[in-house]
Structure 1
Amino acid sequence: MSDRYASFAHTGAGRALVRRLGLPDPPRLRRYRPGDPLIHGPVRLDAAPGGRLREPLATLLATAGIELSTEAQMTSGAPVPGGAPMSGGAELTGGADVATGLGVSAHGEATGARPAPHGALLYDATGITESTGLRALFDFFHPLARALHPSGRVIVFGTPPESCASHREATAQRALEGLIRSIGKEFGRGTTAQLVYVAPSAERAVESTLRFLLSGRSAYVSGQVVRITPADVPEVDWARPLDGRIALVTGAARGIGAQVAEVLAADGAQVVALDVPAAGDALAEVANGVGGTAVQLDLTAQDAPVRLAEHLADRHDRVDIVVHNAGITRDKTLGRMNPDWWDQVLEVNLSSQERINEVLLDRGLIPHGGRLIGVSSIAGIAGNRGQTNYATSKAGVIGLVHSMAPLLAQRGITINAVAPGFIETRLTARIPLVLREVGRRMNSLAQGGLPVDVAQTIAWFASPGSAGITGNVVRVCGQNVLGA
């Protein structure tokens, strides 16, 4: 489905009209393409005094071949051999005014410098232990706020408030969420902003998340908080991280499910694509296209979990990745809703997931290192008029993630969920025009997302490098104004 408004806004006449009238200005997003670098332009990395992540982050960036900028590079615009990051602290002088090209000092004075734009700004805030220390964030971001390439990346790293040594530290660390959500709404031009809480001793589990958030794979993810816990992370082939993995994708015949199957296969997984018998032709096309296999099964059937388990055991001996994407809508206000519509939505979207998980786990088919990934929705976070059944089921998916994460951690299995916002699919194409335009524009990126945006986020959760990510629900919504 095409976004005609965005296409018009990208033309010369469209840009002029959008700026003159103050209309939503959807930027061109940098999405992943094979062979692309992780980030375009150098990365600025700094830390509050006492931060514990600056050195590990610098090492990861260097390993990934990413250039790190220095203060000299920033104020002069000249490349600096080696590109090593400056030593600790956040005392910076220089920034960029995109209108004039002049540098701006930390005190707002023009410097005459022409700083090179950055691809990303990274800040280690783990050293901030009380609210007065939050000033370091202003000192870092203020001169750099307009010195980012289009589709730039902002990532702040902190300590989970529940892991802090004092209530003052926990207060300061919680404040970081307001910072990144505001940056995501302020910086514009396709810039995304995220907060990554890294638990003590979890430093070695950061790389998968760092790579995802820097890359074009996270184009439609912004204003999110990710929590990383300590984990044993294996060596990862970042070109094909899922080689040798068996991945089950439900609801795979079309839309987001079909795109998930394609992305997981491109990352090396052998995909088992599942959908209802009525979608058999489309399902076979998807399975053949990704070199996988098709399973026609109604997940609400009483014997469905057992039949699925037996199929996986007979064909593959296990399943490493389970993506619960199957879902339906039966929309009507609660007072007018047919009871069967309530039951159908809850059964497909939530209860069937629970039963399948239980059978697969009881039979030991999900091994250590396994990944369970659910598909929730922003409706499950903010609610939605006329979708009480759908919102209830999708909030239940979030509850499933939170309740099962500590139990599965004992078996070395992670569970997470994505919560899509307005995604351009055949279902959203049926929404009345005015409501469709509202859905597209009511986010920081002023446009709808694509199925591939959801699929890439699921692939990040599925990666063996994401062993420290569990119990997370990440919205893929362009930082929708609803549900924070």
Structure 2
Amino acid sequence: MNFKDKTVVITGGNTGIGRELAIAFGMRKANVVVNFIVNEEAAVETISHIENLGGKAIKIFGDVTKLDDCKNIIDKSIKVFGKVDVLINNSGITRDNLIMRMSEDDFDKVIDVNLKGTWNMCKSVTRHMMKNRSGKIINISSVVGIMGNAGQSNYVASKAGIIGLTKSLAKEFGPRGITVNAVAPGFIETKMTEALPVEVRENYMKQIPLGKFGTPEDIANSCIFLASSRADYITGQVLSINGGMI
């Protein structure tokens, strides 16, 4: 699939799954916008990697919890590349704990980044995509947003909220030719999962019928499909990439 002359904005596009997404679209000739809030060095490295592959990419600082920052991300993307064709809301954080020990601040931070951040970015791109009567929005949810998980009430609530937001916006945006879908990854090989204790990793592995963690490339492949013309008649859906967990 080729995305030549298409502009793809990826929040949290400098590391982990976001970086894999940025490179995957860059390899397919898209104009890639790498949003970041920390670790600018990683954003620079990601852009350099894309450019070495013959693609075009820029980095834009922006805190997705701030609506003005989100508007700036979209406005700068349009100024440089002329339009935004695809928005991937990938930014996310965790602050895990049992609810009796979880602070209000930890709950609020996770909801602000994961759920409100997704809402902020969707709101910021709305007028542009509606004017163009086209666009693809892909929101990164999680398997736990579907099945729940002890010790992650804040994270699960945010990811379940993203699914509800996705379904609602699909109905709002559909008449203007804009699709809105969600991807719900299971356990993916990232620095976060690599840091888990061996016994925890083994316990999670037992829950996966395929017997292995997924890779960031697995998530990138699903987003490439949803962003392509092959998915033009798919909207309001949740694509689960979890090795059969649910």
Bin of the TM-score, shorter chain as denominator length = over 0.9
Note if contact 2:9-2:84 (Cα within 8 Å) is conserved in structure 1: yes
Match in the other structure for 1:372: 137
> CA-to-partner distance for each residue in 1:87-108, whole Å, 9 max, x for gaps?
xxxxxxxxxxxxxxxxxxxxxx
Q: d(CA) in 2 for partners of 1:244 and 1:330?
A: 38
Change (3 A) 1:270 1:366: farther
Note if contact 1:320-1:367 (Cα within 8 Å) is conserved in structure 2: no
Change (3 A) 1:364 1:474: closer
Q: d(CA) in 2 for partners of 1:249 and 1:366?
A: 21
Where does 1:121-270 land on structure 2 (aligned, <5 Å)? Answer: 238=1, 240=2, 242-270=3-31
Instruction: Work out whether 1:391 is the aligned partner of 2:152.
Output: no
Shift of 1:363: 4.2
The residue type equivalent to 1:332 in the other structure is N
SS at match of 1:427: helix
SS at match of 1:252: coil
Shift of 1:253: 1.3
SS at match of 2:21: helix
Q: d(CA) in 1 for partners of 2:177 and 2:126?
A: 12
Note if contact 2:141-2:160 (Cα within 8 Å) is conserved in structure 1: yes
Note if contact 2:94-2:110 (Cα within 8 Å) is conserved in structure 1: yes
Match in the other structure for 1:314: 79
> CA-to-partner distance for each residue in 1:226-271, whole Å, 9 max, x for gaps?
xxxxxxxxxxxx4x2x121100011111110000111111222111
| Matched residues, number | 241
Note if contact 1:313-1:365 (Cα within 8 Å) is conserved in structure 2: no
Where does 1:353-364 land on structure 2 (aligned, <5 Å)? Answer: 353-364=118-129
Note if contact 2:66-2:120 (Cα within 8 Å) is conserved in structure 1: no
Match of 1:423 among 164, 167, 188: 188
Match in the other structure for 1:288: 48
Instruction: Work out whether 1:411 is the aligned partner of 2:181.
Output: no
Structure 1 runs of 4+ aligned residues shifted over 4 Å read 363-366
Q: d(CA) in 1 for partners of 2:130 and 2:19?
A: 24
Change (3 A) 1:414 1:456: same
Q: d(CA) in 2 for partners of 1:366 and 1:353?
A: 20
Instruction: Work out whether 1:335 is the aligned partner of 2:111.
Output: no
Match in the other structure for 1:229: none
Match in the other structure for 2:226: 461
CA RMSD of aligned residues (A): 1.4
The residue type equivalent to 2:228 in the other structure is S
The residue type equivalent to 1:260 in the other structure is L
The residue type equivalent to 1:279 in the other structure is N
**Could you tell me the TM-score, scaled by structure 1's length?**
0.48
Q: d(CA) in 2 for partners of 1:323 and 1:307?
A: 16
Match in the other structure for 1:128: none
Q: Which has the higher contact order (CA 8 A, sep 6+)?
A: 2
Q: State the structure with more CA Rg.
A: 1
The residue type equivalent to 1:248 in the other structure is V
The residue type equivalent to 2:107 in the other structure is W
> CA-to-partner distance for each residue in 1:334-393, whole Å, 9 max, x for gaps?
111111111110010011211221121124477333100010001101111110000000
Match of 2:91 among 306, 326, 342: 326
Q: d(CA) in 2 for partners of 1:429 and 1:319?
A: 34
Q: d(CA) in 2 for partners of 1:260 and 1:439?
A: 25
**Could you tell me the TM-score, scaled by structure 2's length?**
0.93
Q: d(CA) in 2 for partners of 1:249 and 1:255?
A: 12
Unaligned runs of 5+ in 1: 1-237
Instruction: Work out whether 1:476 is the aligned partner of 2:236.
Output: no
Match in the other structure for 2:32: 271
Change (3 A) 1:412 1:391: same
Note if contact 2:130-2:173 (Cα within 8 Å) is conserved in structure 1: no
The residue type equivalent to 1:247 in the other structure is V
The residue type equivalent to 1:284 in the other structure is V
Change (3 A) 1:404 1:326: same
Q: d(CA) in 1 for partners of 2:67 and 2:128?
A: 17
Identity over aligned residues, as a percent?
34
The residue type equivalent to 2:32 in the other structure is V
Note if contact 1:419-1:476 (Cα within 8 Å) is conserved in structure 2: yes
> CA-to-partner distance for each residue in 1:157-200, whole Å, 9 max, x for gaps?
xxxxxxxxxxxxxxxxxxxxxxxxxxxxxxxxxxxxxxxxxxxx
Q: d(CA) in 2 for partners of 1:432 and 1:416?
A: 33
> CA-to-partner distance for each residue in 1:70-129, whole Å, 9 max, x for gaps?
xxxxxxxxxxxxxxxxxxxxxxxxxxxxxxxxxxxxxxxxxxxxxxxxxxxxxxxxxxxx
The residue type equivalent to 1:282 in the other structure is A
Note if contact 2:20-2:217 (Cα within 8 Å) is conserved in structure 1: yes
> CA-to-partner distance for each residue in 1:48-76, whole Å, 9 max, x for gaps?
xxxxxxxxxxxxxxxxxxxxxxxxxxxxx
SS at match of 1:356: helix
Match in the other structure for 1:400: 165
SS at match of 2:170: helix
